[in-house]
């Protein structure tokens, strides 16, 4: 029975099958065409988005990591851009990276010297350099240390054996050496000093008890747990601690970089600096000239 039905209905079934096949081919072709068109359109939009929304690259002193990261989301919302990408480190090391061609848009330094060197090399966008904040230099010990009133002069004591300090690429280390010279401790403490590659590394070494004391910025002492400030260096003991920022001349997004630079001296930024232990009395001032 099934065989007879197949025989008697073969011509009609063949026609129906042919029609169905043609319809399937037409639908499939239409679907493929739509998919291809949509795919190309999506790819075009995707490429435009990628080109439009490349984040700014900001190379900044590591002691500014907390306030700059806290400010990034609001800048992104206002500008309708992705948040900046950050490269934190010692100002001296960041300066060397920029001098070697790193694709940085904005440089934020914890000292005048690295910024001035880049300016003299013609690597900063003229007229963009500005001071955004200041800081204080402090002496810290581990929070669990019995020393609660250790002063700079007391670092020469025999009970203090290891003192963490920034190395030659770290502005905080330079300020610390100036302060030790002010107290006439340079020679007496030379054998005790433990140079480190960033001020944040100094703070962590003290917090973990790897050294007896260290010299860091006040903002780092506030940001890193298990530290106790025992003394604040007098302002006259070292050069002014100024954070300056500028647009790098090779930036691929100079207008956006300028917008970001302006945001670093706005009211929201000043509030963030204060919240993280920075000083803002010098903020918004133009950077010192050559």
Nearest to 159 by CA among 142, 147, 173: 147
Q: What's the predicted TM-score (pTM) here?
A: 0.76
pLDDT for position 5: 32
Cβ count near 47 (within 10 Å): 10
Quote the CA–CA distance of 261 and 202 in Å, as a whole number. Answer: 28
| Phi and psi torsions of 91, nearest 5° | -60, -40
The per-residue b/e assignment along 121-147, b for 16 or more CB within 10 angstroms, e otherwise, is eebbbeebbbbbbbbbbbbbbbeebeb
CA distance readout (Å), 216 to 54, 108, 131, 168, 277: 34, 18, 20, 14, 12
> Which residue do the tokens 């401790």 mark?
185
**65-95 residue pLDDT tens:** 999 999 999 999 999 999 999 999 999 999 9
Beta pairing, strands 57-61 & 242-247: unpaired
What is the side-by-side strand order in the sheet with 163-166?
Answer: 193-196, 163-166, 213-217, 137-142, 227-232
**Which pLDDT score is estimated for 148?**
86
| Residue 4 confidence (pLDDT) above 90 | no
Fold match between domain 55-131+245-275 and domain 137-237: yes
Assigned token pair, 139: 């002496």
Determine contact, residues 137/238, Cβ cutoff 8 Å: yes
Determine which of 30-34, 43-47, 114-118, 272-276 has the lowest per-residue pLDDT on average.
Answer: 30-34
pLDDT for 281: 64
What three-state secondary structure class fits 229? strand
Residue with tokens 């010692």: 90
Q: List, for residues 273-290, the tens digit of each pLDDT value.
A: 999 999 996 444 444 443
| CATH class held by domain 137-237 | alpha beta
List the chain domain ranges.
Answer: 2-51, 55-131+245-275, 137-237
What homologous superfamily does CATH list for 55-131+245-275?
Answer: Periplasmic binding protein-like II (3.40.190.10)
Written as six digits, the tokens of 148 are 């609660």
């Amino acid at each position: 029975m099934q065989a007879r039905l197949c025989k008697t209905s073969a011509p009609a079934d063949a026609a129906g099958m042919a029609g169905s096949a043609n319809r399937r081919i037409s639908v499939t072709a239409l679907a493929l065409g739509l998919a291809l068109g949509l795919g190309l359109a999506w790819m075009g939009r995707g490429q435009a988005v990628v080109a439009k929304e490349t984040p700014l690259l900001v190379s900044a002193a590591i002691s500014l990591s907390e306030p700059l990261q806290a400010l990034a989301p609001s800048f992104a919302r206002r500008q309708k851009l992705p948040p900046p990408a950050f490269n934190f480190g010692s100002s001296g090391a960041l300066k060397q990276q920029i001098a070697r061609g790193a694709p940085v848009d904005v440089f934020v330094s914890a000292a005048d010297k690295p910024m001035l060197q880049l300016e003299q090399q013609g690597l900063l966008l003229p007229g963009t350099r500005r001071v955004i904040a200041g800081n204080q230099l402090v002496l810290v010990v581990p929070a669990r240390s019995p020393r609660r009133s250790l002063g700079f002069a007391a670092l020469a004591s025999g009970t203090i054996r290891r003192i963490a300090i920034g190395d030659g690429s770290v502005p905080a280390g330079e300020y610390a050496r100036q302060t030790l010279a002010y107290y006439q401790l340079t020679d007496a403490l030379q054998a005790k000093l433990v140079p480190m590659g960033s001020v944040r590394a100094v703070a962590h070494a003290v917090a973990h008890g790897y050294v007896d004391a260290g010299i860091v910025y006040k903002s780092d002492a506030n940001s890193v747990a298990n530290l106790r400030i025992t003394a604040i260096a007098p302002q006259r003991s070292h050069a002014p601690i100024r954070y300056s920022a500028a647009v790098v001349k090779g930036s691929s997004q100079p207008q956006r970089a300028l917008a970001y630079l302006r945001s670093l001296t706005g009211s929201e930024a000043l509030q963030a600096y204060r919240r993280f232990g920075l000083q803002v009395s010098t903020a918004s001032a133009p950077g010192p000239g050559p």
